[in-house]
């Protein structure tokens, strides 16, 4: 099977959906001739023309708001927000409009729109080019939130997102764009939304993670394995709607759960996972549900020493695994 980088898989997913369905358009800042600042849309302008690959003005609310309107009138926009850190000017359009359109119209209007955005730290991006923003959006009923970790999943999930009849936020860890490679089959396949995956089976402890952290969790689990600890890793892939069953099934088996996320710890997405496990798997637990997450400072600092201090890494996760295992 051919291997591809994370970003190649994403680009291929968009391109093949555009070939398959004329109603798919791409819009965002620099997505045209330049092909996006990370080159996620490279070549699409040449292949599909300026009518379907639209360089927008620097106006995020407009990118999302016009995508909502275009979606209502028969298109399937794939909007790019250049960095997840800059999605907030569009927050009102996502929260008050995209997420609520179907509910508030009693199912008479829907918004089949995908909003892609690179997120995450570890790339010398500092406070405003490193942020994990998923918790703001997973809180909102009416939005689907996807964070893939492998090229295979990225392509398959992106195709599902584009074909989905509701708004999907698709966050891509920018550190993975070129550093992560994986097998991507030729030809059409999709990966269903709202399905987590056990990426490493184990019996003594569950680690729940997503995005870059799903890789770091696997690394940490391998090291723990060398110590004779059997760790299961669950890669959530879709954060909302959450595949609760896969998580609960794993925790009921292992009796211990560590949740890993890169975002600030307090009120982060992992807090919801912890609450669900406490409510629905309490009787199976042999230890507290614990978290390894980013520190509670307002952003990732720039200097590499500070950035390393901020970032969750395999060593910190391994530490968390050992502590929980010893409980």
Q: Taking CA 182 as the corner, what is the angle to CA 149 and CA 256, rounded to the nearest 5 degrees?
A: 40
Q: Which of residues 154-173 bind other proteins (CB under 8 A)?
A: 164-166
- Euclidean distance between CA atoms 307 and 15, whole angstroms: 35
The one segment of 9-17, 140-148, 199-207, 225-233 that binds other proteins by CB under 8 A = 140-148
Query: Judged by CB under 8 A, does residue 197 bind other proteins?
Result: no
CB of 244 to other proteins, least distance (A): 8
Is 106 among the residues that bind other proteins (CB under 8 A)? yes
Q: How far apart are CA 213 and CA 211, in angstroms?
A: 5
3-class DSSP state of 84: helix
Cβ distance 117 to 88 under 8 Å? no
Q: Give the CA angle between residues 253, 259, 262 to the nearest 5°.
A: 155
Q: Does 241 bind other proteins (CB under 8 A)?
A: yes
Instruction: By CB under 8 A, tell whether 103 contacts other proteins.
Output: yes
- Whether the ω angle into residue 104 lies within 30 degrees of 0, i.e. cis, is no
The answer to the question of residue 132 lying near other proteins (CB under 8 A) is: no
Q: Which of 129, 139, 173, 304 is catalytic?
A: 129
Interface residue with other proteins, options 39, 72, 271, 276 (CB under 8 A): 72
Report how far residue 312's alpha carbon sits from residue 292's, in angstroms, rounded to the nearest whole number.
7
> DSSP label at 325?
H
Q: Closest distance between other proteins and the C-beta of residue 220, in Å?
A: 31
Does residue 304 carry a catalytic annotation?
A: no
Catalytic positions, written as ranges: 129
Positions touching other proteins (CB under 8 A) are 23, 25, 51-52, 56-57, 59, 61-62, 64-75, 77, 89, 92-93, 96-97, 100-110, 141-142, 144, 164-166, 194, 241
């Amino acid at each position: 099977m051919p291997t591809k980088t994370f970003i190649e898989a994403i680009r291929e997913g968009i391109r093949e959906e555009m070939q398959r369905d004329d109603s798919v358009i791409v819009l965002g800042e620099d997505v045209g001739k330049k092909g996006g600042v990370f080159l996620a849309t490279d070549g699409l302008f040449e292949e599909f023309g300026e009518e379907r690959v639209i360089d927008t003005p620097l106006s995020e609310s407009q990118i999302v708001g016009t995508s909502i309107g275009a979606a209502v009138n028969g298109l399937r926009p794939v909007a790019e927000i250049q960095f997840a850190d800059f999605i907030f000017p569009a927050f009102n359009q996502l929260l008050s409009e995209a997420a609520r359109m179907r509910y508030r119209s009693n199912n008479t209007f829907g918004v089949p729109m995908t909003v892609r955005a690179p997120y995450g730290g570890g790339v010398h991006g500092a406070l405003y080019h490193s942020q994990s923003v998923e918790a703001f959006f997973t809180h909102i009923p009416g939005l689907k939130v996807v964070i893939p970790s492998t090229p295979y999943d990225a392509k398959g999930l992106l195709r599902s997102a584009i074909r989905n009849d509701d708004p999907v936020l698709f966050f891509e860890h920018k550190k993975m764009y070129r550093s992560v490679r994986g097998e991507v089959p030729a030809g059409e396949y999709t990966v269903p939304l709202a399905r987590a995956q056990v990426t490493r089976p184990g019996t003594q402890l569950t680690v729940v993670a997503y995005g870059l952290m799903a890789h770091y969790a696997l690394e940490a689990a391998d090291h723990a394995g060398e110590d004779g600890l059997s760790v299961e890793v669950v890669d959530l892939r879709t954060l909302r709607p959450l595949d609760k069953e896969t998580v609960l099934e794993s925790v009921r088996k292992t009796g211990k759960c560590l949740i890993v996320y890169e975002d600030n710890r307090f009120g982060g997405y992992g807090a919801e996972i912890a609450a669900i496990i406490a409510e629905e798997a309490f009787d199976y637990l042999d230890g507290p549900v614990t978290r390894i997450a980013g520190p509670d400072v307002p952003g990732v600092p720039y200097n590499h020493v500070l950035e390393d201090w901020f970032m969750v890494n395999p060593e910190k996760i391994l530490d968390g695994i050992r502590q929980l295992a010893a409980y």
